[in-house]
Amino acid sequence: MRARHLLLAACAFLVACQREQRDLRTDPPVAEALGQVAVMPGGIGGRPAAIDRALGHPYQTNAYQLNQGKRLWDWFNCSGCHAAGGGASGPALTDGSWRYGPDMVSIFVSIRDGRPNGMPAFRGKLTDEQILQLSGYVQAMGAETASTAAPSRNDTMQARASENRAPAAAAFPKQVSR
Amino acid sequence: MAATSRLASCLPALLCAGCGGWQSALQPGGEQAGHLKVLIQLFTIVCGIVWLLVMLVLAAGLWRRHSGTPTGAAAERRSARLVGAATAASVLVIIGLTLASYVATHGLAAAGADPLVIRVRGSQWWWEVTYMDPSPDRTFLTANEIHVPVGRPIRVELAASDVIHSFWAPNLAGKQDLIPGRDNALSFTVDQPGLYREQCAEFCGLQHAHMAMLIVAEPAASFDAWRDGQIAEPPAPNDAEQAAGRLVFTGKACAACHTVRGTPAAGTLGPDLTHVGSRRTIAAGMLPTTRGSLAAWIADPQTIKPGNNMPMVPLTADELNALAAYLASLK
Amino acid sequence: MSPDSLPPDIRDTDLAPDVLEPELERTWRTPRGLIGALSTVDHKIIGRRYLVTAFIFLAMGGVLAMLMRLQLARPENRVLPPDLYDQVFTMHGANMMFLFAVPVMEAVAVYLVPLMVGTRNVAFPRLNAFSYWMYLAGGFTLWTAFALDMGPDVGWFAYVPLSGPEYGSGKRADIWAQMITFTEVSAMAVAVEIVVTVLKQRAPGMSLDRIPLFVWSMLVTSFLIIMAMPAIMVASTSLILDRLVGTHFFNPAEGGDVLLWQHLFWFFGHPEVYIVFLPAVGMVSTIIATFTRRPTFGYLALVMALIATGILAFGLWVHHMFATGLPRLGESFFTASSMSIAIPAGVQIFCWLATLWLGRPVYRTPLLFVLAFFVTFVIGGLTGVMVASVPLDTQVHDTYFVVAHFHYVLIGGAVFPLLGAIYYWYPKIVGRMMSERLGRWVVGLLAIGFNLTFFPMHLLGLHGMTRRVYTYQVEMGWGGLNLFVSLSAVLLACGFALFFFDAIRSSWIGEPAGDDPWGGPTLEWSTTSPPPPYNFRHIPIVRSGQPLWDDTETLTVAAGLRVDRRELVVSSVAEALPEAREASPANSIWPLWAAIASTVMLISSIFSPWAVVWGAVPIAVALIGWFWPKGTPEDEA
C-alpha cells in the first residue's frame, strides 16, 4: 500500500517534471526524426514520428512547447484567416470540430503541406519542430478538456477564453470527450 | 573591523584595473553622464565622510577609559545635546543631498534643440532601431547597433513589444524602462567619439544577459555617410557563392522572420538584416560579425544563446557557407 | 495532592509554591506523543519550530547563493544553464525574503514577546499554531516545485508581463504567487497576535514607556505587516486570476496596466525591508543595553524613530520605479521621502553610539555582532541615500550596486543583529550557552567575508554589471572582480556553516546556562532557562523599564489567577492596569486540519479555479471544528 502510494507520488513528480521542462535546444538528428511522420493516403491521420513517443509527446504535454506554439500562432498571423480561433476566411479551430482530423499528424500535415481552399503550406518557412509546436497549440485550442500545460491568454484584445479554459467545451458542452 | 573594511575597499579597486570601461557610469562620454558622474562622486564623498565620522565616534566610544565615565544627569544631558546636534547635522546633509539631486534632475531635463530621434523597440532578446526623419524615404530600420553624431542631442523613444526591458548606456545617460503600453523617452548628447555599450537592465527572461548593443559615436560627417549607406539597398551579390547564399536566404525559413531590403525577404519577426555585414556584432552584442561567427550562429543558435527565438534551420554545409558569405557581404 | 481532589476555581494564592508549580505544569503542558506535538499551542514550542525552520531555509537559500557565485565566477560560464539560473536566483530571493527574513523575525517575537511582556502565551495561540503550519506548507510548496523543475523563474518581484499569462509558461509563476499567499497569511496571523499580545497582555504596571525596545519594534513591525501585506496578496491574487481565469488586471490592451503590478508589489515590497529591519533595531537596542550595563540612551527618541520609520516606510515605494518614466514631480516627492527616512535611522545610530559611549561595554559575542552591524549597516544606509536620488538611481538601479546595497542593509542591518540575538537568547531558549570562542570566529568570518563579498559589487555595478544576468562576456572586464567575490563568498559561507555547527553542537554539549547568564534587565531573564510551559509562576508586576535591574531584591508579582485552567491577565492599553482574568485556549489539533485544508485549496486553485469552491468545504469543516464550543472552561470566561 505504502509502496503504491510512493510509486504514485513518484509518477506525479515525473509528470510534473516533464510538463515544466524547458528543452531549449533539440539535437539536429532528433529534429530531423521529428518530421518523419507516416501520413495516411489522403493526408488525414497517420502515425507520429517514433521519436515523439519516445520523448513523451512533448509538443502536446509540455507547457513551454505549447507556449512557443502560441507565440508562432501570433507571429505567423494565423489569426489573419482563423481569427482568434473562431474562424473567418479560414475554419474555426476552437469549436471542437475538425475538417481534417484532430490528431497531431493531421494538424502537422495541414500546416506543413497546406490544405485546399487557401491554407498555405509552411514547409520551408517553419522548421518541422516549429510546426509541431504550432500543431500542439492548435490542438489545445480545440480541446474539450483543458490540460494544465495549456497556455493562458495573451496580453492583447481577447475575443475568447484562453486555451487553459478549454473554449471547445464552452462551445459544445454536451459533446463526448475524445 | 574598520580596517578590514577599508582593506575590502582597496582590493577590488586593484582588481578592477582591467575593466573595459565601455559600459561604465564612471567614464562618461557625454554631458548627461558627466553630470551623473559628478553627482555620484559628490554622494560618495559625503557618504564616505559620514561613515568615517560614525566609525570614529564608535571607535572612540569603545576605546576610551570607561572606568572614569561620568555618570548621572549631567552626562546624559550632554549626550542628549550631542545626539540632537548630530540629528540636526544629518538633516542638513540630507537636505543638501536632496537639493543636489534636484539640481541634477533639472540639468538632465534640459533637452537640446533639433534632436536626432531614434526609436528603439525592445523584444526578447534584441533591439529594433528606427531612425526617424521628416522625409519618410530617409527613415530606415536597423537592429542592435546605433550610430550617433557627436555633439547633436539624441532623443531615444522607447517602446517594448513583449515584456519590460530597460535601455541603459551608462557612459551616456541613466537608464529608462521600455514598458508595454507606455511610451518613454531618453535624451542625451555624446561628446566623445567612440564605442559605447548599452545593455538591457530589466530582467526580461532567459537571455536577459545577452541583450546588448553597441553605440557608435562619430563625427557628423561620418555619421551622415553611415546613414546614407544604411538607407541605400545592400549591394547585389558579387560572386557565385554570395548569389547562392541569397537564394538560400530567400528560399529557406530565414526570410519568414528577417528582412533584407531589395530582396523578397520581408519578415519582421527578427532583426532587419539589410546591412548586417556592416554591424560590429551579431546576436545582440554577443559575437563579432565575421563570416565564421555568422555561420556558427545560424548553425546552432540555441547553443550560443539558449532559449532565444531563432530556430535551428537544417542546412547543408554548402548552404551554410554560402549563406554566411552572403550575409557577411551585406555591408 | 491528586488533580481530582482540587476544588474548581483554585487560585495560585491557595497553593504552596511546591504544589503550585506541578499544578501549573499540568494545566499548561504539551502532552507527549505525536498528537500532542501536532496540537500544541505553546508559543515557545511554536516559536522554536519557526526558528529552526527559518534557519533551515536560510541554509538552503545560502546554497543557492553559492551556486550563483559558482556560475558567475568566470565569464561565459556554463555551470548553470539560463533556465536553471533564473529559477535559482528567483528561489534565492523569494526564499530569503518570504521564508527566512520575515518569518525568522516573527519567530523571535513569537518566542520572546510573551516572555518580555510577562504573560503566559500569545493572544490567539491557535492562530499561532495555524500560522506555523501555513508557513511550513508554503515553504514546502516552493521547494518541492523547485525540485520538480517547476520553480518560479520570474524574479522574486515577478514583474508582469514576464510573469503574466503570455510570457510565463507553465505553473512556475503561479507557484510563486501562491507561495506568497501562504507566507502572507501566516505573517499576518502572527502580526495580529503580536499586536494584541503587546497591547492587551502586558504585565501589570508595564505602561507604554516601560515596554522593552524589542517589543516596541515588534509592535511597529506587526502594524507594518498588517498594512503592507494585503497589497501583495491583492497583487498575487490578481496575477493568478490573470493567468488562470483570463482577467485583465495587468493587460494594457484591455485597460489593465503593467505598472499597476509594480505599484502594488512595492507598496508591500518597501515596507517589507523595514519589516525585516525594525526587529533588528529592537535586537540591537536590547543587546547594547545588556552589554553596556545601562538602559539604552534615548528610549523615547528610539521609540519615536521606530514609529516614524514605520510611517515613512509607506511613502517611498516609488523609489524602486525611478526608471519607469513616472512624472517628474512624483519622482521628486519620492526622492525627498526616501532621503528623509535616513533621519530616524540616524537618530537610532546616534542613540546607540551614546549608549556605548556612556556605558561600560562587555565584549561578548552578541555585542561583537552589533559592532559588525554598525560597520556594515551604516554603509548600507548611506548607499540607500544614494539610490534615493532619482538621477543617481537611474545609473545604479538594477545593477550590482543595488545588489550590494540591499545585502548591506539586509545582512549587515538585519542578519548580523539577528545572529547576535540568537547568541544572546540561545541560553534562554535552549538552556545552554553557545560557545564564546566559536562565536568570535563566526563574527570575524562573517564580517570579513561579507564585506569582501559585497563591497566589490558596488564597483561592479558602477562599471555596468546589470542584475539577474546568468553570465557576462569576457570583454566586459568583470571577470577578476567576480572571481574575487565568489572566493570571498566561500569565506562568508564558512562563517554561516560555523554558526550552524556551533548552534547544533551547543544544544547538547553547551555549558548549562542559569536563569540570567548575561544579567539582562528584561522579564524573560526572571524565569528559568528554558522557561516552563506556563512561563512565570506568578505574573510579575513591573515598575520600571528595566525591572530586573531596578527591583534588585525580588520581583513583585500579581496573584489570584486560577491554576486549574489556562488563565492570564488582560491589562489596559496605555497604563497596563490589570483589567480581567482571561482564559487562554488549550491545545487543539484543529489548526493543523485548517492549515491542511487551506493548503489543499490553495495548491489546487493553481490548477483549477473551481478548487476555490470545493476547497472551501473542508476549510469550513476545519474552522467549525476549531471554533466548536466544547463546554470547556476557556469558552465561558
Question: How far does B99 lie from chain C, in Å, by closest CA?
Answer: 9
Q: Which residues of chain A have pLDDT under 70?
A: 1-17, 171-178
pLDDT bucket at B67, cuts 50 / 70 / 90: low
pLDDT digits (tens, 9 = 90+) for C486-507: 999 999 999 999 999 999 999 9
Q: Do C170 and A156 touch (CB under 8 A)?
A: no
Interface of B with C in 295-324 (CB under 8 A): 306-307
Query: At residue B220, does pLDDT exceed 90?
Result: yes
The three grid cell numbers given for residue C386, joined into one nine-digit string: 544614494
Letter for the amino acid at A44? Answer: I
The confidence score (pLDDT) of residue A143 equals: 85
How far the first Cα of chain A sits from its last, in Å, is: 32
Give pLDDT, residue B275.
Answer: 93
Q: Which residues contact B146 (CB under 8 A, 6 or more apart)?
A: B118, B120, B129, B198, B213, B214, B215, B216
Inter-chain touch C86–B206, beta carbons under 8 Å:
yes
User: CA distances (Å), B203 to each of B186, C18, C399, C467, in order?
Assistant: 19, 65, 11, 8
Side by side, which strands form the sheet with B140-143?
B140-143, B126-131, B116-123, B154-160, B184-188
Q: pLDDT category, C267, cuts 50, 70, 90?
A: very high
Q: Are C481 and B12 within 8 A, CB to CB?
A: yes
Which pLDDT band holds residue B16 (cuts at 50, 70, 90)? Answer: very low
C-alpha cell at C620: 469550513
Least confident of B94-103, B225-234, C274-283, C323-332: C323-332
Per-residue confidence band for B4, with pLDDT thresholds at 50, 70 and 90: very low
What is the per-residue pLDDT for C8? 66
> By the CB < 8 Å criterion, does C78 face chain A?
no
| Per-residue cell: C415 | 542578519
- Chains in touch with A (≥3 Cβ pairs < 8 A): B, C
| Cell representation of residue C118 | 510577562
* Three cell numbers, residue B47: 557618504
Q: What is the mean pLDDT of residues C361-367?
A: 94
**Residue carrying the nine cell digits 544579567:** C519
Does B164 contact A at CB distance below 8 Å? no
**pLDDT interval class at B70 (50, 70, 90):** low
How many other CB atoms are found less than 10 A from the CB of residue B96? 12
Q: Residue C509: which pLDDT band, with cuts at 50, 70 and 90?
A: very high
Fold of A40-153: Cytochrome Bc1 Complex; Chain D, domain 2 (1.10.760)
Q: What is the pLDDT of residues C529-584, one digit of tens each?
A: 899 999 998 899 998 888 888 876 677 788 888 888 888 999 999 999 998 888 88
* Sequence-separated (6 or more) residues with CB below 8 Å from residue C628: none
Confidence of residue B68 (pLDDT cuts 50, 70, 90): low
Are C164 and A149 a contacting pair at CB < 8 A?
Answer: no
Give B114-149 pLDDT, tens digit per residue: 899 999 999 999 999 999 999 999 999 999 999 999
Average pLDDT across chain C, whole number: 92
pLDDT tens digits, C218-266: 999 999 999 999 999 999 999 999 999 889 999 999 999 999 999 999 9
- pLDDT of C63 reads 97
What's the pLDDT score for residue A112?
94
Q: How close B126 comes to chain C (CA, Å)?
A: 15
pTM: 0.93
In this prediction, residues B162-189 reach a mean pLDDT of 93
Dig out the grid coordinates for B178 from the structure: 521600455
Burial class (CB in 10 A: 0-12, 13-18, 19+), C580: exposed
What does the alpha-carbon distance between residue A115 and residue A107 come to, in Å, rounded to a whole number?
Answer: 10
Strands (E), A17-61: 38-39, 46-47
- Check: CB of residue B324 under 8 Å from CB of residue B294: yes
Amino acid at C117: V
Sorted by where each starts, the structural domains of chain B and their CATH numbers stand as 116-229 (2.60.40.420), 240-328 (2.60.40.420)
**CB-CB contact of B209 with B141 (8 Å):** no
Query: Which pLDDT does position A174 carry in this prediction?
Result: 52
Alpha carbon distance B260, B247 (integer Å): 12
How confident is the model over B244-267, as a mean pLDDT?
92
Contact B312 A126 (CB under 8 A): no
**Rounded distance between C-alpha atoms, residue C68 and residue C50, angstroms:** 27
Give the separation between CA C146 and CA C152, rounded to whole angstroms: 7
Give the closest residue to B127 by CA, choosing from B59, B60, B41, B204.
B204
Burial of C62 (0-12, 13-18, 19+ CB in 10 A): buried
Interface contact flag, B311 A130, Cβ < 8 Å: yes
Chain A residues near residue B314 by CB distance under 8 angstroms: 28, 31-32, 127
Chain A residues closer than 8 Å to C165 by CB: 151-155, 162
Contact in structure between C11 and C562 (CB atoms under 8 Å):
yes
Give this complex's ipTM. Answer: 0.91
Residue C530, preceding peptide bond in cis (omega within 30° of 0): yes
Rounded to whole angstroms, how far apart are CA atoms A65 and A137? Answer: 8
Distance CA B9, CA C254 (A): 50
Helices (H) and strands (E) in chain B, counts: 9, 12
Question: Is B256 at the interface with chain A, CB within 8 A?
Answer: yes
Residue A34: which H helix or E strand, with range?
Answer: helix A28-34
Handedness of CA C227, C316, C339, C448 (dihedral sign): positive
**pLDDT score of A4:** 58
Indicate yes or no: CB of C467 within 8 angstroms of CB of B203. yes
pLDDT digits (tens, 9 = 90+) for C403-443: 999 999 999 999 999 999 999 999 999 999 999 999 999 99
CA C203 to mean position of chain CA atoms = 24
All three cell numbers of C113, joined, read 514577546
Q: From the centroid of its chain, how far is CA B118? A: 15
Give the residue on B whose Cα is nearest the Cα of A29: B314
Confidence band for C81, pLDDT divided at 50, 70 and 90: very high
